A and B are shown apart, each in its own frame.
Chain A
Amino acid sequence: MNSPEGPKGSQTNTLPEIGISQILGLVELLISKGGRDDIYKLAAELSMELGETLTVIKAAELLGLVHTPGGDVVVEGPGLKIIDASIPERKELIRCKLETLPVFKSVRDYLKETVDHEVTREEVLEKLAELIPNEDAESSFSTLVNWGRYAELFGYNDDSQTFYLDSGETTE
Protein backbone atom coordinates (compact mmCIF):
# COMPACT_ATOMS: atom_id res chain seq x y z
CA MET A 1 0.00 0.00 0.00
CA ASN A 2 2.96 2.31 0.52
CA SER A 3 4.90 1.48 -2.64
CA PRO A 4 5.95 4.81 -4.14
CA GLU A 5 6.48 3.45 -7.66
CA GLY A 6 4.22 2.19 -10.41
CA PRO A 7 0.55 2.72 -11.17
CA LYS A 8 -0.44 1.59 -7.67
CA GLY A 9 1.96 4.10 -6.17
CA SER A 10 0.58 6.95 -8.22
CA GLN A 11 -2.94 5.96 -7.27
CA THR A 12 -2.20 6.37 -3.59
CA ASN A 13 -1.32 10.00 -4.23
CA THR A 14 -4.91 10.67 -5.25
CA LEU A 15 -6.60 12.73 -2.57
CA PRO A 16 -10.12 11.70 -1.56
CA GLU A 17 -12.75 14.44 -1.71
CA ILE A 18 -13.36 14.47 2.01
CA GLY A 19 -13.46 17.49 4.31
CA ILE A 20 -11.48 17.86 7.51
CA SER A 21 -14.62 18.12 9.65
CA GLN A 22 -15.79 14.73 8.41
CA ILE A 23 -12.43 13.15 9.22
CA LEU A 24 -12.37 14.69 12.69
CA GLY A 25 -15.94 13.44 13.22
CA LEU A 26 -14.86 9.91 12.34
CA VAL A 27 -11.97 10.00 14.80
CA GLU A 28 -14.18 11.50 17.53
CA LEU A 29 -16.77 8.80 16.98
CA LEU A 30 -14.15 6.04 17.11
CA ILE A 31 -12.63 7.45 20.29
CA SER A 32 -16.06 7.46 21.92
CA LYS A 33 -16.25 3.74 21.05
CA GLY A 34 -12.93 2.95 22.66
CA GLY A 35 -10.77 3.78 19.65
CA ARG A 36 -11.72 0.89 17.40
CA ASP A 37 -14.63 -0.48 15.37
CA ASP A 38 -15.49 -2.96 12.67
CA ILE A 39 -15.78 -1.09 9.36
CA TYR A 40 -18.97 -2.85 8.24
CA LYS A 41 -20.64 -2.31 11.60
CA LEU A 42 -19.62 1.33 11.58
CA ALA A 43 -21.06 1.95 8.11
CA ALA A 44 -24.31 0.24 9.07
CA GLU A 45 -24.62 2.17 12.30
CA LEU A 46 -24.05 5.48 10.52
CA SER A 47 -26.38 4.45 7.64
CA MET A 48 -23.55 5.32 5.31
CA GLU A 49 -22.72 3.47 2.15
CA LEU A 50 -19.76 1.19 2.60
CA GLY A 51 -17.88 2.86 -0.27
CA GLU A 52 -18.34 6.29 1.25
CA THR A 53 -17.30 5.05 4.68
CA LEU A 54 -14.16 3.55 3.17
CA THR A 55 -13.34 6.85 1.47
CA VAL A 56 -13.54 8.75 4.76
CA ILE A 57 -11.44 6.08 6.45
CA LYS A 58 -8.89 6.29 3.63
CA ALA A 59 -8.71 10.06 4.13
CA ALA A 60 -8.15 9.64 7.88
CA GLU A 61 -5.51 7.02 7.12
CA LEU A 62 -3.70 9.36 4.74
CA LEU A 63 -3.56 11.89 7.57
CA GLY A 64 -2.08 9.24 9.85
CA LEU A 65 -5.01 9.33 12.27
CA VAL A 66 -6.23 5.74 11.88
CA HIS A 67 -5.07 2.44 10.47
CA THR A 68 -7.06 -0.50 9.17
CA PRO A 69 -5.94 -3.93 10.36
CA GLY A 70 -8.25 -6.66 9.01
CA GLY A 71 -11.78 -5.34 8.74
CA ASP A 72 -11.33 -2.88 11.58
CA VAL A 73 -10.52 0.80 11.81
CA VAL A 74 -8.31 1.78 14.74
CA VAL A 75 -7.33 5.24 15.93
CA GLU A 76 -3.57 5.65 16.13
CA GLY A 77 -0.77 8.11 16.77
CA PRO A 78 -1.84 11.71 16.30
CA GLY A 79 -5.47 10.54 16.07
CA LEU A 80 -5.32 9.77 19.79
CA LYS A 81 -4.05 13.26 20.57
CA ILE A 82 -6.14 15.29 18.17
CA ILE A 83 -9.41 14.94 20.01
CA ASP A 84 -8.29 16.67 23.17
CA ALA A 85 -6.05 19.10 21.32
CA SER A 86 -6.87 22.77 20.88
CA ILE A 87 -7.69 24.00 17.41
CA PRO A 88 -4.15 25.35 16.74
CA GLU A 89 -2.70 22.04 17.97
CA ARG A 90 -5.03 20.13 15.67
CA LYS A 91 -3.87 22.20 12.74
CA GLU A 92 -0.25 21.58 13.71
CA LEU A 93 -0.78 17.79 13.85
CA ILE A 94 -2.38 17.79 10.41
CA ARG A 95 0.28 20.11 9.05
CA CYS A 96 3.11 17.83 10.18
CA LYS A 97 1.52 14.92 8.38
CA LEU A 98 0.70 16.83 5.19
CA GLU A 99 4.30 17.96 4.89
CA THR A 100 5.25 14.31 4.38
CA LEU A 101 2.67 13.58 1.66
CA PRO A 102 4.19 13.85 -1.85
CA VAL A 103 1.41 16.01 -3.30
CA PHE A 104 1.54 18.61 -0.53
CA LYS A 105 5.29 18.46 -0.29
CA SER A 106 5.70 19.06 -3.99
CA VAL A 107 3.36 22.07 -4.04
CA ARG A 108 4.98 23.57 -1.00
CA ASP A 109 8.52 23.07 -2.32
CA TYR A 110 7.43 24.60 -5.60
CA LEU A 111 6.07 27.65 -3.76
CA LYS A 112 9.26 28.05 -1.77
CA GLU A 113 11.39 27.88 -4.91
CA THR A 114 9.50 30.50 -6.91
CA VAL A 115 10.70 34.06 -6.53
CA ASP A 116 7.49 35.68 -5.35
CA HIS A 117 6.22 32.50 -3.63
CA GLU A 118 3.18 32.44 -5.84
CA VAL A 119 2.17 29.83 -8.41
CA THR A 120 -0.90 29.53 -10.57
CA ARG A 121 -3.59 26.91 -10.48
CA GLU A 122 -2.45 25.67 -13.90
CA GLU A 123 1.09 25.22 -12.68
CA VAL A 124 -0.12 23.25 -9.68
CA LEU A 125 -2.32 21.06 -11.86
CA GLU A 126 0.75 20.29 -13.97
CA LYS A 127 2.65 19.30 -10.84
CA LEU A 128 -0.25 17.13 -9.76
CA ALA A 129 -0.24 15.37 -13.12
CA GLU A 130 3.22 14.05 -12.32
CA LEU A 131 1.93 12.43 -9.15
CA ILE A 132 -1.71 11.62 -9.82
CA PRO A 133 -3.50 9.94 -12.74
CA ASN A 134 -5.08 12.60 -14.91
CA GLU A 135 -8.70 11.79 -14.23
CA ASP A 136 -8.15 12.31 -10.50
CA ALA A 137 -6.27 15.59 -10.66
CA GLU A 138 -9.33 17.88 -10.59
CA SER A 139 -10.98 16.12 -7.65
CA SER A 140 -7.70 15.96 -5.79
CA PHE A 141 -7.25 19.67 -6.40
CA SER A 142 -10.11 20.77 -4.15
CA THR A 143 -8.82 18.55 -1.34
CA LEU A 144 -5.32 19.88 -1.84
CA VAL A 145 -6.65 23.42 -1.43
CA ASN A 146 -8.89 22.67 1.52
CA TRP A 147 -6.54 20.52 3.59
CA GLY A 148 -3.72 22.94 2.76
CA ARG A 149 -5.83 25.82 4.00
CA TYR A 150 -6.83 24.01 7.19
CA ALA A 151 -3.20 23.24 8.01
CA GLU A 152 -2.18 26.73 6.89
CA LEU A 153 0.41 25.13 4.67
CA PHE A 154 -0.37 27.56 1.88
CA GLY A 155 -3.10 29.92 0.79
CA TYR A 156 -5.15 29.88 -2.37
CA ASN A 157 -7.04 32.74 -3.97
CA ASP A 158 -9.78 31.59 -6.30
CA ASP A 159 -10.21 35.05 -7.88
CA SER A 160 -6.64 35.20 -9.12
CA GLN A 161 -6.33 31.38 -9.14
CA THR A 162 -2.99 31.51 -7.35
CA PHE A 163 -1.38 29.64 -4.52
CA TYR A 164 0.83 31.54 -2.12
CA LEU A 165 2.79 31.01 1.06
CA ASP A 166 1.33 32.69 4.11
CA SER A 167 3.19 35.88 4.92
CA GLY A 168 5.87 35.57 7.56
CA GLU A 169 6.83 32.13 6.32
CA THR A 170 8.62 33.19 3.21
CA THR A 171 11.75 34.18 5.09
CA GLU A 172 12.28 30.86 6.87
Chain B
Amino acid sequence: MTEQPQTLIELDHVTKRFTLPQGDVTVLQDISFKAVEGEFITIVGPSGAGKSTLLRLMNGLLHPNEGKVLYQGKQMRGINYETAMVFQNFGLLPWLTVSQNIELGLEARTKDPVLRSERVRMYTTKVGLEGYEEAYPRELSGGMKQRVGLARALAIEPSLLLMDEPFSSLDVLTSINLRNELLDIWSDRDNVVNTMIMVTHNIEEAIELSDRIIVLSNRPGRIVGDIRIDLPRPRKKRDKGFIEYVDRVFSLLA
Protein backbone atom coordinates (compact mmCIF):
# COMPACT_ATOMS: atom_id res chain seq x y z
CA MET B 1 0.00 0.00 0.00
CA THR B 2 3.02 2.33 -0.12
CA GLU B 3 2.22 5.27 -2.31
CA GLN B 4 4.90 6.50 -4.63
CA PRO B 5 5.73 10.07 -3.61
CA GLN B 6 4.59 12.51 -6.28
CA THR B 7 6.93 14.93 -7.97
CA LEU B 8 5.87 18.37 -6.82
CA ILE B 9 8.21 20.62 -8.74
CA GLU B 10 10.62 19.89 -11.53
CA LEU B 11 13.25 22.09 -13.10
CA ASP B 12 14.08 20.83 -16.54
CA HIS B 13 17.34 22.20 -18.05
CA VAL B 14 16.68 25.67 -16.74
CA THR B 15 18.96 28.51 -17.73
CA LYS B 16 18.42 32.04 -16.44
CA ARG B 17 20.06 35.16 -17.82
CA PHE B 18 19.78 38.78 -16.78
CA THR B 19 20.22 41.59 -19.22
CA LEU B 20 22.59 44.24 -17.93
CA PRO B 21 23.84 47.40 -19.71
CA GLN B 22 27.12 45.65 -20.47
CA GLY B 23 25.32 42.61 -21.93
CA ASP B 24 23.64 39.39 -20.88
CA VAL B 25 24.85 37.51 -17.80
CA THR B 26 24.04 33.86 -17.29
CA VAL B 27 23.18 33.41 -13.63
CA LEU B 28 21.93 29.83 -13.64
CA GLN B 29 22.91 27.26 -16.22
CA ASP B 30 21.27 23.99 -17.12
CA ILE B 31 19.63 23.37 -13.76
CA SER B 32 17.66 20.13 -13.51
CA PHE B 33 16.20 18.54 -10.41
CA LYS B 34 12.92 17.28 -8.99
CA ALA B 35 11.48 17.69 -5.53
CA VAL B 36 9.01 15.05 -4.42
CA GLU B 37 6.20 15.61 -1.94
CA GLY B 38 7.40 15.50 1.66
CA GLU B 39 11.01 16.26 0.85
CA PHE B 40 13.14 18.81 2.67
CA ILE B 41 15.76 20.10 0.27
CA THR B 42 18.45 22.67 0.96
CA ILE B 43 20.36 24.61 -1.64
CA VAL B 44 23.89 25.73 -0.81
CA GLY B 45 26.36 27.69 -2.85
CA PRO B 46 28.57 30.76 -2.70
CA SER B 47 27.08 34.22 -2.59
CA GLY B 48 26.01 35.27 -6.07
CA ALA B 49 25.58 31.68 -7.25
CA GLY B 50 21.93 32.32 -8.08
CA LYS B 51 20.26 30.70 -5.06
CA SER B 52 17.67 33.44 -4.56
CA THR B 53 17.07 33.53 -8.31
CA LEU B 54 16.41 29.79 -8.21
CA LEU B 55 13.73 30.29 -5.54
CA ARG B 56 12.11 33.04 -7.62
CA LEU B 57 11.96 30.69 -10.60
CA MET B 58 10.06 28.27 -8.36
CA ASN B 59 7.54 30.81 -7.10
CA GLY B 60 7.02 32.13 -10.60
CA LEU B 61 8.29 35.66 -10.08
CA LEU B 62 10.96 34.88 -12.69
CA HIS B 63 10.84 32.69 -15.76
CA PRO B 64 13.63 30.69 -17.38
CA ASN B 65 15.27 31.80 -20.63
CA GLU B 66 15.78 28.17 -21.54
CA GLY B 67 14.21 25.01 -20.16
CA LYS B 68 11.07 24.87 -18.07
CA VAL B 69 9.70 24.68 -14.56
CA LEU B 70 6.90 22.19 -14.00
CA TYR B 71 4.64 22.27 -10.98
CA GLN B 72 2.57 19.15 -10.37
CA GLY B 73 3.36 18.20 -13.92
CA LYS B 74 2.23 21.45 -15.52
CA GLN B 75 4.53 24.04 -16.97
CA MET B 76 4.49 27.20 -14.88
CA ARG B 77 3.67 30.41 -16.72
CA GLY B 78 2.87 32.93 -14.01
CA ILE B 79 2.99 33.35 -10.26
CA ASN B 80 2.87 30.03 -8.43
CA TYR B 81 0.17 30.53 -5.78
CA GLU B 82 0.95 27.09 -4.34
CA THR B 83 4.19 28.40 -2.87
CA ALA B 84 5.00 30.76 -0.03
CA MET B 85 8.31 32.39 0.80
CA VAL B 86 10.16 33.08 4.05
CA PHE B 87 12.86 35.76 3.83
CA GLN B 88 16.15 36.38 5.60
CA ASN B 89 15.08 39.84 6.69
CA PHE B 90 11.58 38.71 7.67
CA GLY B 91 9.79 40.98 5.18
CA LEU B 92 7.47 42.44 7.81
CA LEU B 93 5.64 45.74 7.46
CA PRO B 94 6.59 47.87 10.47
CA TRP B 95 3.27 49.71 10.73
CA LEU B 96 1.25 46.49 10.93
CA THR B 97 0.77 44.30 14.00
CA VAL B 98 1.77 40.65 14.18
CA SER B 99 -1.74 39.53 13.24
CA GLN B 100 -1.98 41.99 10.38
CA ASN B 101 1.40 40.91 9.05
CA ILE B 102 0.34 37.27 9.15
CA GLU B 103 -2.89 38.11 7.34
CA LEU B 104 -1.05 39.96 4.59
CA GLY B 105 -0.49 37.02 2.28
CA LEU B 106 -4.07 35.84 2.72
CA GLU B 107 -5.72 38.98 1.44
CA ALA B 108 -5.02 38.17 -2.20
CA ARG B 109 -6.22 34.59 -1.79
CA THR B 110 -9.17 34.55 0.58
CA LYS B 111 -11.96 37.07 0.26
CA ASP B 112 -13.82 35.94 3.39
CA PRO B 113 -12.55 37.97 6.39
CA VAL B 114 -13.87 35.41 8.91
CA LEU B 115 -11.95 32.63 7.22
CA ARG B 116 -8.89 34.83 7.13
CA SER B 117 -8.92 35.61 10.82
CA GLU B 118 -9.45 31.92 11.63
CA ARG B 119 -6.39 31.07 9.59
CA VAL B 120 -4.41 33.83 11.26
CA ARG B 121 -5.37 32.53 14.69
CA MET B 122 -4.49 28.94 13.80
CA TYR B 123 -1.01 29.73 12.52
CA THR B 124 -0.32 32.28 15.25
CA THR B 125 -0.80 29.41 17.69
CA LYS B 126 1.21 26.95 15.62
CA VAL B 127 4.38 29.03 15.70
CA GLY B 128 4.03 30.05 19.35
CA LEU B 129 2.98 33.66 18.78
CA GLU B 130 -0.18 33.61 20.84
CA GLY B 131 0.00 36.62 23.12
CA TYR B 132 1.90 38.68 20.52
CA GLU B 133 -1.06 39.37 18.22
CA GLU B 134 -1.08 43.10 18.87
CA ALA B 135 2.68 43.60 18.96
CA TYR B 136 4.52 45.54 16.29
CA PRO B 137 7.67 44.18 14.66
CA ARG B 138 9.79 46.83 16.46
CA GLU B 139 8.80 45.28 19.79
CA LEU B 140 9.94 41.78 18.80
CA SER B 141 13.22 39.89 19.04
CA GLY B 142 14.62 38.47 15.80
CA GLY B 143 13.31 35.02 16.69
CA MET B 144 9.78 36.28 17.15
CA LYS B 145 9.99 38.30 13.92
CA GLN B 146 10.93 35.21 11.96
CA ARG B 147 8.05 33.31 13.58
CA VAL B 148 5.79 35.98 12.09
CA GLY B 149 7.43 35.44 8.70
CA LEU B 150 6.90 31.71 9.04
CA ALA B 151 3.29 32.04 10.22
CA ARG B 152 2.50 34.33 7.32
CA ALA B 153 3.89 31.79 4.86
CA LEU B 154 2.16 28.82 6.53
CA ALA B 155 -1.19 30.64 6.72
CA ILE B 156 -1.36 30.58 2.94
CA GLU B 157 -1.30 26.80 3.27
CA PRO B 158 1.08 26.42 0.35
CA SER B 159 2.00 23.00 -0.94
CA LEU B 160 5.63 24.10 -1.18
CA LEU B 161 7.41 26.29 1.36
CA LEU B 162 10.39 28.25 0.01
CA MET B 163 12.86 29.80 2.43
CA ASP B 164 15.71 32.15 1.55
CA GLU B 165 18.36 31.96 4.31
CA PRO B 166 15.66 32.21 6.98
CA PHE B 167 18.04 31.87 9.91
CA SER B 168 21.06 33.86 8.76
CA SER B 169 20.16 37.11 10.46
CA LEU B 170 19.42 35.42 13.79
CA ASP B 171 21.87 34.86 16.63
CA VAL B 172 23.25 31.35 17.03
CA LEU B 173 20.97 30.26 19.90
CA THR B 174 17.80 31.65 18.35
CA SER B 175 18.56 29.85 15.11
CA ILE B 176 18.99 26.55 17.00
CA ASN B 177 15.51 27.04 18.44
CA LEU B 178 13.88 28.02 15.15
CA ARG B 179 15.51 25.14 13.26
CA ASN B 180 14.04 22.72 15.79
CA GLU B 181 10.61 24.28 15.55
CA LEU B 182 10.76 24.25 11.76
CA LEU B 183 11.60 20.53 11.83
CA ASP B 184 8.62 19.97 14.14
CA ILE B 185 6.37 21.71 11.62
CA TRP B 186 7.85 19.82 8.70
CA SER B 187 7.54 16.42 10.37
CA ASP B 188 3.97 17.08 11.52
CA ARG B 189 2.16 15.25 8.74
CA ASP B 190 -1.12 16.97 9.63
CA ASN B 191 0.29 20.14 8.17
CA VAL B 192 -0.72 21.09 4.69
CA VAL B 193 2.86 21.87 3.76
CA ASN B 194 5.46 19.17 4.16
CA THR B 195 7.65 19.93 1.20
CA MET B 196 10.30 22.53 1.88
CA ILE B 197 13.12 24.03 -0.15
CA MET B 198 15.52 26.21 1.78
CA VAL B 199 18.54 28.22 0.74
CA THR B 200 21.35 28.44 3.26
CA HIS B 201 25.04 29.22 3.27
CA ASN B 202 25.47 27.22 6.46
CA ILE B 203 26.56 23.70 5.52
CA GLU B 204 26.00 22.27 8.98
CA GLU B 205 22.49 23.68 8.98
CA ALA B 206 21.85 22.03 5.61
CA ILE B 207 23.05 18.66 6.89
CA GLU B 208 21.11 18.96 10.11
CA LEU B 209 17.83 19.74 8.39
CA SER B 210 17.52 18.31 4.95
CA ASP B 211 16.96 15.06 3.12
CA ARG B 212 18.98 16.33 0.20
CA ILE B 213 21.49 19.08 -0.46
CA ILE B 214 21.81 20.63 -3.88
CA VAL B 215 25.20 22.29 -4.27
CA LEU B 216 25.59 25.16 -6.72
CA SER B 217 28.83 26.41 -8.26
CA ASN B 218 29.53 30.08 -8.77
CA ARG B 219 28.82 32.26 -11.81
CA PRO B 220 27.04 30.78 -13.52
CA GLY B 221 25.33 28.61 -10.96
CA ARG B 222 25.42 24.97 -12.00
CA ILE B 223 24.53 21.93 -9.96
CA VAL B 224 27.82 20.40 -8.84
CA GLY B 225 26.34 18.05 -6.27
CA ASP B 226 23.04 16.53 -5.24
CA ILE B 227 23.66 14.72 -1.98
CA ARG B 228 21.22 12.61 -0.04
CA ILE B 229 21.75 12.87 3.72
CA ASP B 230 21.37 9.41 5.15
CA LEU B 231 21.41 10.19 8.87
CA PRO B 232 18.62 9.63 11.39
CA ARG B 233 17.02 12.72 12.96
CA PRO B 234 17.54 14.55 15.24
CA ARG B 235 21.05 15.08 13.90
CA LYS B 236 23.97 16.44 15.87
CA LYS B 237 27.32 17.69 14.72
CA ARG B 238 29.08 15.00 16.73
CA ASP B 239 27.07 12.18 15.19
CA LYS B 240 28.98 9.55 13.27
CA GLY B 241 28.93 10.50 9.62
CA PHE B 242 28.02 14.17 10.07
CA ILE B 243 31.58 15.43 9.54
CA GLU B 244 31.97 13.28 6.44
CA TYR B 245 28.99 15.07 4.90
CA VAL B 246 30.45 18.46 5.88
CA ASP B 247 33.71 17.53 4.14
CA ARG B 248 31.88 16.32 1.06
CA VAL B 249 29.89 19.51 0.63
CA PHE B 250 32.97 21.66 1.34
CA SER B 251 35.02 19.87 -1.27
CA LEU B 252 32.28 20.46 -3.85
CA LEU B 253 32.22 24.16 -3.04
CA ALA B 254 36.00 24.55 -3.07
Residue ranges of A at the interface with B (Cβ–Cβ < 8 Å):
19-26, 28-29, 32, 46-48, 56, 87-88, 90-91, 142, 145-146, 148-152, 155-158, 166
> Considering residues B126, B127, B172, which has the most beta carbons from chain A within 10 angstroms of its beta carbon?
B172
- Smallest CB separation, A3 vs chain B (Å): 29
Q: Which residues of B contact A (CB under 8 A)?
A: 125-128, 130-132, 134-136, 139-144, 147, 170-178, 180, 234, 236
**22 A-B residue pairings within 8 Å (CB atoms):** A19-B144, A20-B141, A20-B144, A21-B143, A21-B178, A22-B177, A24-B177, A25-B178, A28-B177, A29-B173, A47-B172, A87-B125, A91-B130, A146-B144, A149-B132, A150-B128, A150-B131, A150-B132, A155-B131, A156-B134, A158-B135, A158-B136
* A25 / chain B contacts, CB cutoff of 8 Å: 143, 172-178
CB-defined contacts of A149 to chain B, threshold 8 Å = 131-132, 135
Residue of A90, A146, A156 near B128 (CB, 8 A) is A90
- A160: shortest Cβ distance to chain B, in Å? 10
* Chain A residues, CB < 8 A from B170: 21
B residues in contact with A32, CB < 8 Å? 234, 236
The smallest beta-carbon distance between A80 and chain B, in angstroms, is 16
Q: Is the interface of A mostly helix, strand, loop or mixed?
A: helix
Give the residues in chain B near A156, CB-CB below 8 Å: 134-135
Alpha-carbon separation in the docked complex, A151 to B176 (Å):
21
Give 18 A-B pairs besides A56-B173, A90-B128 with Cβ atoms closer than 8 angstroms: A19-B143, A21-B141, A21-B170, A22-B173, A22-B174, A25-B173, A25-B174, A29-B173, A29-B176, A87-B125, A87-B128, A91-B128, A145-B139, A146-B144, A148-B131, A151-B131, A156-B135, A157-B134
Q: Are A46 and B173 in contact (CB under 8 A)?
A: yes
Which A residues touch B236, using CB under 8 A?
32
Give every chain A residue within 8 A of B130 (Cβ-Cβ).
91, 152
Residue of A with least CB distance to B140: A146
Contacts of A19 in B (CB 8 A): 141-144, 174
- A26's contact among B141, B144, B173, B178, by CB below 8 Å, is which? B173
Complex Cα distance, B176 from A28, in Å, reads 7
A32 to B141, CA, bound (A): 24
Which B residues lie within 8 Å of A29 (CB)?
A: 173, 176
Residue pair B132, A22 in contact (C-beta under 8 Å): no
